[in-house]
Structure 1
Amino acid sequence: MDAPTADSAPTRPLAMSDVAARAGVSHQTVSRVINRHPNVAVATRARVLAAIAELGYRPNGAARALATGSTRTIGLVTSNISQYGPAQTMLGLEHAAREAGYFLTVSVLDDAGARTMTEAIDRLATQSVDAIVALSTYDEAVLALREVHAAVPLITVQASGDGDGPAVWVDQETGAALATRHLLDLGHRTVHHVSGPAGSIEAAARASSWRAVLDSAGARPPSMLRGDWLPASGHAAGRELVARRRGGESVTAVFVANDQMAFGLLNAFHEAGLRVPDDVSVVGFDNVPEAPYYIPPLTTVRQDFAELGRRGVQLVLGLLGGEQARPCPVVPQLLVRATTAPPTRGKG
């Protein structure tokens, strides 16, 4: 009997055998193509994919999971999704998972404490995900993950390589060092820093690296200011630095722990009549989409969230294939724009 066509309204659901008949291959070959098995000839794969498109065949996910032991689904546990970094990390993971033929199912937590983190991971595991990715950029999340024993492979996307299990991360220390050295290399005698919130591993790593670079250069670290990642806290830090300048402190260069706070800082400087970069140079961190279009365009450190997602999914697939987990740091990049320049003579 001929295989049904897309126009013939079959009396039963299309099956893999219908695709096999139309493509002139075995049922096993169709299965290999659907499951992205590498050992299929290019011409054969093209013929099977053409038959799938012509018939309008949709694989039965439940049946495929029973046959392969895989749902081709990765779970993600995250929090603080309103912030740029976590949101972009999630998008990077979703895109990389889709490219690999996987779905991403997301659990967004109001807080990343031990109880909520454990409950979310257990809930994802009961949904038969193949693996779980947990975003852990705050101290409480890292502590919680140390107590979790997942029934499936568990990897973390985090702020450093100090975790116990398989992980991917952006090298925060290198990014902060690039920002601080850039300002010192321009001739600034020291660099002020606006940090992120307490409890943030990223904020702590960037502040620690800023201080270490100044120490190694023989520059005394000024008193650090702390924000909360939002522009309002950067604006408040900017007003504080303006007050310090008026009090006689030399403030010619500022490394801000993220771009959103840097925008608030720049606004405070503008209100006070300070010119950037003539009076004060500023470097941010993240390279948010607005950074090149601010006036002046912001010098910043770029985190490659797409690459972070790709490496995260690669690590998942490797673990599922029985490979040994390897460190997966992503190195950030300094993007020099118009908010940094050598200090005005006599003010460095």
Structure 2
Amino acid sequence: MADVAAMAGVSSQTVSRVANNRENVDGATREKVLSAMQVLGYRPNTAARALVTGRFGALGVVSFDMGAHGNARTLGAIADAAREADFSVNFMGVRTQTEAAVRHAFQHLMLQSVDGIVLIESQILDTPSLRLPPSMPVVVADGDAGHRYPHVDFDQAHGAHSVVAHLLGLGHRTVRHLAGPHDAFSARRRAESWRRTLTDAGAPVPPLVHGDWSAASGYRADLGIARRGDVTAVFAANDQMALGLIRALHESGRDVPGDVSVAGFDDIPEAAYLRPPLTTVQQDFEVVGRHCVSLLLDQIEGRTDGPLRKEVEPVLVVRASTARPRRGGTA
């Protein structure tokens, strides 16, 4: 620090203010200090800085399925928002959703000196006996059904309702559903909304089929559609399963959307370029990332005195994979 101060022609206190991103340094002086830091390869001592600021400058993230599009996008959005707030991100992937696995993940991240932790889509929170460390600020992204912790979530029910209502509005008698995994919080909420929307509309409620979020499971499931001429509309719980389903339909000689309308959920980047382009529900993961980091910083800085909730409303994007049913279709 003394070397940086000497090269920049400022005091060590000024170097400390710049290193800790304090605002009481004018722009020209800050640039001189930053330039000297770069030339000399100066890196602040994080342990010493933590003693002064009370922060380590790092956030932790725990996730159980990074193969899922939504989880990966949420992690990326959290990392972007954390970087904007001058925090790094330490990630801990967990294979099994057990109390022991969650406790181990938290202990591991706490040993890495993080200031707060985001837990992404955790069904283990449905276990009443699970208690996360009370001293650690926590935000749950997509998974806290009991609202036990500050959390951020998409309005999954609204998104699923908008898809089903769209398909019914086109004239389909009912809508089949290819649901996500049984233990996925978002999958359960989408399936519940699908069922409720059909019931409220007086439409038949067909049995649902579960996939595992992958395109392969959508391809394998196909809900018997390839062998039935009376199925005219399907809502897949994510875009990857919709992609696999569309391929299965094409291979069986059924046209999308001429014979069967197909809609997904997530609006992955490829959705607009499928053949046909996919009707889906768009989720703004950048907003989720900002909310997660914002809620953590509120707790870290003592700006909150109780659980908080932020909900992001998804948007239906209508494309060419859905259309009015041909005459004679019944489901």
1:127 equivalent in structure 2: 112
Distance 1:40 1:120, change over 3 A: same
1:154 equivalent in structure 2: 138
User: What SS class does the counterpart of residue 231 from structure 2 fall into?
Assistant: coil
User: What SS class does the counterpart of residue 172 from structure 2 fall into?
Assistant: coil
Structure 2 CA distance, aligned partners of 1:135 and 1:221?
Answer: 31
Paired residue type of 1:78: S
Query: Is this contact kept in 1: 2:279–2:322, CA < 8 A?
Result: yes
What's the CA shift string for 1:118-175, capped at 9, x where partnerless?
11112211222111111234x3354278422243212211246642111111221111
Distance 1:215 1:160, change over 3 A: farther
1:114 equivalent in structure 2: 99
Query: Is this contact kept in 2: 1:161–1:327, CA < 8 A?
Result: no
Paired residue type of 1:29: T
2:216 equivalent among 232, 242, 251: 232
1:136 equivalent in structure 2: 121
Structure 1 CA distance, aligned partners of 2:44 and 2:199?
Answer: 60
2:319 equivalent in structure 1: 337
Structure 1 CA distance, aligned partners of 2:269 and 2:146?
Answer: 30
Contiguous gaps of at least 5 residues in structure 2: none
Paired residue type of 1:302: Q
Distance 1:92 1:144, change over 3 A: farther
Distance 1:51 1:292, change over 3 A: same
Query: Is this contact kept in 1: 2:8–2:33, CA < 8 A?
Result: yes
1:317 equivalent in structure 2: 297
TM-score, scaled to structure 1: 0.87
Residue 285 in 1 paired to residue 231 in 2?
no
Distance 1:144 1:294, change over 3 A: farther
- Cα RMSD of the aligned pairs, angstroms, is 2.2
Structure 2 CA distance, aligned partners of 1:168 and 1:25?
Answer: 44
Of residues 63-72 and 159-168 in structure 1, the stretch that sits farther from structure 2 once superposed is: 159-168
Contiguous gaps of at least 5 residues in structure 1: 1-14
Distance 1:160 1:150, change over 3 A: closer
1:326 equivalent in structure 2: 308
Query: Is this contact kept in 1: 2:125–2:144, CA < 8 A?
Result: no
Structure 2 CA distance, aligned partners of 1:166 and 1:98?
Answer: 21
2:162 equivalent among 159, 178, 191: 178
TM-score, scaled to structure 2: 0.91
User: What SS class does the counterpart of residue 282 from structure 1 fall into?
Assistant: strand
Query: Is this contact kept in 1: 2:179–2:236, CA < 8 A?
Result: yes
Distance 1:96 1:145, change over 3 A: farther
Q: Tell me the number of residue pairs that the alignment of Structure 1 and Structure 2 aligns.
A: 328
Distance 1:297 1:55, change over 3 A: same
2:70 equivalent in structure 1: 85
Quote the sequence identity (%). 45
Query: Is this contact kept in 1: 2:178–2:223, CA < 8 A?
Result: no
